[in-house]
């Protein structure tokens, strides 16, 4: 995999942004002693400000005051190539990724450097596969998208649920599996997330083109099948919630893990929902998503919305401290049913920064499956990342 002689284990790209700053805070407080890491971005003065903040908050670690700073713009291919050549893993928070992420992925794929990000943008992920998967397989790089709330709780939650279902049937799963994930949360959002979502809503044609191009290239599992199924609004008889199908990247990530991992059984299907206790909240959510999708199609209206919610800002520490999430999974196969839950604190920022940081550390430091190319978190890190997140306070439990 990545060259262990490189000077850094992890480089954090985008540390001056809101979520990037939280990720830097997490690494400064929780990285193992001796971790060789650096901050990267386009503005050296702002990077120095982040470094000073980290040193002030962690006076017991004098090395933070000397944390290396690497300067590179997201569009400067030569500078990016120099940055990725110095490290085992790059973790990036710079989005919207469809606008700013391509050159960094290309540099990692070509340079044999592992890559993790926070994208929830299906178009970007599909284009990355089409354009860079072959290069990453050749160089030994692992390109692991969606290492935050999109989509770790869902991907690793499904992975954990499959393990529990296997225990229930007494070993290997040999019959079709149907699984649903139901998300509930109380949380704020940042300008970066809003910009990424609105950009994705406005690019339906490009998304369709990227998805079609990937389907033509991506091999399918032999003798097995795995798919994301579109559910319907309804009341869940097991959980007691009203279910609203969620049009996020998460179902496709889970289905791709199911396609790569034989432990998911001969036929695996996954559906993804938001769960609410009352019907009126489900209806209100559907109306809100529909309204944003329609607004994104009208450039003047889209631009006005983007101007009202600037990037680089997010909920206060006090608000994040009261935020939470749960994802319930119900999986069924012949003669067996299990219910599991993933839960944690503020999903979009505090826990997302934790997930991204632990993913980067996992790739840099742990024993992982021998895979290359564009892969999911469950495929690339599986048990090692699951254990890391449990130790970090995110709960994966049988209900």
- The mean predicted confidence, pLDDT, of the chain is 90
Q: Which residues make beta-bridge pairs with 178?
A: 269, 332
Average pLDDT of span 364-381: 98
Q: What is the CA radius of gyration of the chain?
A: 20
Regarding beta strands 242-245 and 234-235, do their DSSP bridges make them parallel or antiparallel, or are they unpaired? antiparallel
CA 307, 311, 317, 321 dihedral sign is: positive
pLDDT of residue 251: 95
Query: Phi, psi at residue 217, to the nearest 5°?
Result: -100, -35
Tens digit of each residue's pLDDT (9 = 90 or more) over 3-16: 568 999 999 999 99
Copy the structure tokens of residue 291.
Answer: 């309204």
Q: How far apart are CA 132 and CA 138, in angstroms?
A: 10
Other Cβ atoms less than 10 A from the Cβ of 214: the count is 19
- Taking each helix axis from N to C terminus, what angle separates 279-296 and 299-308, rounded to the nearest 10 degrees? 110
Between 389 and 314, the higher pLDDT residue: 389
Give yes or no for a contact between 274 and 246, defined as CB atoms under 8 angstroms apart: yes
Q: Which of 184-188, 221-225, 247-251 has the highest mean pLDDT?
A: 221-225
Give the total residue count for the chain.
Answer: 399
Which 3 state secondary structure label does DSSP give 180? strand
Is 80 exceeded by the pLDDT of residue 191? no
Copy the structure tokens of residue 64.
Answer: 């933070």
pLDDT of residue 2: 44
Other Cβ atoms less than 10 A from the Cβ of 162: the count is 26
Q: How far apart are CA 207 and CA 173, in angstroms?
A: 34
pLDDT of residue 317: 85
Tens digit of each residue's pLDDT (9 = 90 or more) over 42-59: 999 999 999 999 999 999
Give the contacts of 377 (CB within 8 A, at least 6 positions apart).
144, 146, 147, 151, 152, 155, 156, 253, 257, 359, 385
**Least trusted range by pLDDT, from 96-110, 196-210, 254-268:** 196-210
Tens digit of each residue's pLDDT (9 = 90 or more) over 119-167: 999 999 999 999 999 999 999 999 999 999 999 999 999 999 999 999 9
Regarding beta strands 225-228 and 8-13, do their DSSP bridges make them parallel or antiparallel, or are they unpaired? unpaired
**Segment holding 344, helix H or strand E:** strand 336-344
pLDDT of residue 300: 73
Tens digit of each residue's pLDDT (9 = 90 or more) over 207-243: 889 999 999 999 999 999 999 998 888 999 999 999 9
């Amino acid at each position: 995999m990545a060259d262990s002689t490189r000077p850094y284990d992890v480089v954090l790209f985008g540390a001056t942004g809101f979520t990037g700053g939280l990720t830097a805070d997490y690494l400064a407080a929780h990285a193992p002693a001796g971790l060789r890491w650096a901050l990267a971005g386009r503005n050296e003065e702002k990077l120095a400000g982040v470094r000073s903040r980290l040193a002030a908050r962690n006076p017991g670690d004098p090395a933070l005051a000397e944390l290396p700073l690497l300067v590179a713009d997201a569009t400067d291919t030569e500078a990016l190539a120099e940055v990725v050549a110095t490290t085992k893993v790059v973790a990036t928070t710079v989005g919207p990724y469809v606008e700013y992420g391509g050159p960094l992925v290309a540099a990692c794929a070509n340079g044999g450097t592992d890559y993790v990000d926070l994208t929830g943008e299906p178009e970007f992920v599909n284009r990355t596969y089409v354009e860079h998967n072959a290069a990453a397989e050749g160089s030994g790089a692992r390109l692991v998208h969606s290492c935050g709330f999109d989509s770790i709780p869902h991907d690793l939650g499904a992975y954990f649920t499959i393990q529990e279902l296997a225990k229930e049937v007494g070993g290997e799963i040999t019959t079709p599996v149907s699984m649903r994930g139901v998300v509930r949360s109380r949380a704020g959002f940042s300008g970066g997330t809003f910009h990424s979502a609105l950009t994705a809503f406005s690019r339906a044609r490009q998304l369709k083109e990227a998805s079609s191009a990937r389907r033509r290239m991506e091999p399918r599992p032999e003798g097995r099948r795995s798919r994301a199924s579109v559910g319907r609004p309804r009341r869940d008889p097991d959980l007691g919630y009203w279910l609203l199908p969620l049009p996020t990247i998460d179902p496709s990530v889970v289905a791709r893990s199911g396609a790569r991992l034989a432990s998911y059984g001969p036929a695996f299907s996954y559906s993804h929902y938001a769960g609410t206790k009352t019907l009126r909240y489900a209806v209100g959510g559907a109306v809100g998503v529909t309204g944003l999708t329609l607004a994104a199609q009208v450039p003047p209206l889209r631009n006005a919305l983007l101007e009202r919610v600037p990037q680089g800002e997010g909920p206060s520490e006090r608000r994040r401290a009261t935020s939470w999430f749960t994802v319930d999974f119900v999986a069924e196969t012949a003669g067996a049913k299990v219910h599991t839950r993933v839960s944690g604190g503020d999903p979009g920022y505090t826990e997302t920064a934790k997930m991204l940081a632990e993913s980067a550390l996992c790739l840099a430091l742990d024993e992982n499956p021998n895979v290359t190319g564009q892969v999911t978190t469950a495929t690339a890190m599986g048990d090692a990342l699951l254990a890391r997140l449990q130790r970090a306070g995110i709960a994966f439990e049988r209900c």
